Amino acid sequence: MTVLIVAASLLVGVSLGVLGGGGSILTVPILVYLAGQDTKEAIATSLFVVGVTSLAALVPHARARRIRWRTGLLFGAFSMAGAYGGGRLAEYVPGTALLVAFALMMLATAVAMLRRPRPGRKKARPADGDLPLKHIAVEGLVVGAVTGLVGSGGGFLVVPALALLGGLPMGVAVGTSLLVIAMKSFAGLAGHLAGVAIDWRLALTVTAAAVLGSLAGGRLAGRIPQDALRTAFGWFVVVMGVFVLVQQVDTAVWSHPATWAGLVAVLAAALATRRWRASGAG
């Protein structure tokens, strides 16, 4: 099992290096389903793993000049405030609810990434490529709060925010997101540490493997076409979102079979009534 955890952690790093996100999308399931951690411990541990790995993955992107430093630092600063608040709030939210919310947000983001932009709707940017401060503030606070609450380093939200809302080229959005992710992952971790203990031996093992993967992923990122990178990111998030959602629904069904059986019966009755009325019998 340890070998499997290390191999999966390498994929975490590759994902961060290539896509600028997906770290916690992979790390949380690895820690929950492979390492056997409970949800809140896995979320806190993932923030440490993703924070350190993002710093390592940042290096090859910085050398290739695929980072907007002003945008990244400001976005990260606002996100840190939101992430700390989200991390404190997470202490009072059930673990299953956090993972379901996590999966649903992944799927919504994937749809936005896979949808082709309409011609003529490309956002104008300042000559230096940086985003306006008010946009950075609002988007940073919202993304940061989600990060702290559900344990995601935020790449699956930061990259779309920078690419779709900010209009940055996909490669630059990927590089800049790593700076943001590192900053707010550590802020979210600070919020979680008030109520969660971390297995540091496991955390450091996963982090070491992820860092190695991130260095390889960062070198690959500059060789992948922008459209292909965007599509790969979208479908990657779809697969992981569906996996996490199915796992949580399955757990809920077995934990509360009577409740779910009743819900299915109500939905079936409602569907039958609708068909009966549509047929003209009513």
DSSP annotation of 169 reads: -
pLDDT band at 200 (very low <50, low <70, confident <90, very high): very high
Percent of the chain with pLDDT over 90: 6
| pLDDT, position 207 | 92
Q: Is residue 94 part of a domain?
A: yes
Q: Does residue 160 have a pLDDT over 80?
A: no
In a domain, 258, yes or no: no
- Does position 282 have pLDDT exceeding 60, yes or no? no
Q: 276 lies in a domain?
A: no
Q: Has residue 222 been placed in a domain?
A: yes
Q: Give tens-digit pLDDT for 67-121.
A: 899 888 998 898 888 878 887 887 787 877 777 877 787 787 778 777 765 544 4
Q: What does pLDDT average to over the chain? A: 77
In whole angstroms, what is the distance from residue 87 CA to residue 78 CA?
14
Confidence at 158, pLDDT banded by 50, 70, 90 = confident
As a whole number of angstroms, the distance between CA 13 and CA 19 comes to 10
Looking at residue 120, its pLDDT comes to 47
Whether 122 shows a pLDDT value over 80: the answer reads no
Amino acid identity at 40: K
| Gap between the Cα atoms of 230 and 268, Å rounded | 39
What's the rounded Cα separation, in Å, for the pair 252 and 264? 13
Tell me whether residue 146 is in a domain: yes
Q: What is the pLDDT of residues 2-61, one digit of tens each?
A: 888 888 888 888 878 877 776 767 788 888 888 888 888 888 898 899 889 888 888 888
Q: How far apart are CA 155 and CA 162, in angstroms?
A: 10
Establish if 257 belongs to a structural domain.
no
For residue 280, being part of any structural domain is answered with no
- Overall number of domains in the chain: 1
Structural domain span for residue 242 = 2-251
* 87 belongs to a structural domain: yes
